[in-house]
Amino acid sequence: MFTGLLELAQQLGLHFFFSTRVKQMINDLFFRRQEILDQELLVDGRCNRQPLLAYLEVLPLTLYTENQEDIIGKLDNLDGS
């Protein structure tokens, strides 16, 4: 969720000042998140494990924008379980 909060803050025009070490840690978080997004499916039709859609609140806005129709369609079809 931290990466999502940072992205939202940037979109709102908020600026944070971090030490060099913290900046490197944040860069590593963004890099690792991108690796996960590249290798995982947004929606797992096989239901073998939790799809990325289960973590919608931490996904980058660009991923949501690119897959908005799929996300809304899957959320509309949920049975609440």
Determine how many CB atoms are found less than 10 A away from the CB of residue 24. 11
Residue 3's pLDDT band, with cuts at 50, 70 and 90, is confident
Q: How far apart are CA 6 and CA 50, in angstroms?
A: 24
Q: How far apart are CA 71 and CA 42, in angstroms?
A: 8
pLDDT surpassing 90 at residue 54: no
Quick check: 4 and 64 in contact, CB under 8 A?
Answer: no
Residue 35's pLDDT band, with cuts at 50, 70 and 90, is confident
- Residue 2 per-residue DSSP state: H
Quick check: 65 and 7 in contact, CB under 8 A?
Answer: no
pLDDT surpassing 90 at residue 21: yes
In this prediction the pTM is: 0.49
pLDDT surpassing 90 at residue 81: no
Q: How far apart are CA 44 and CA 50, in angstroms?
A: 7
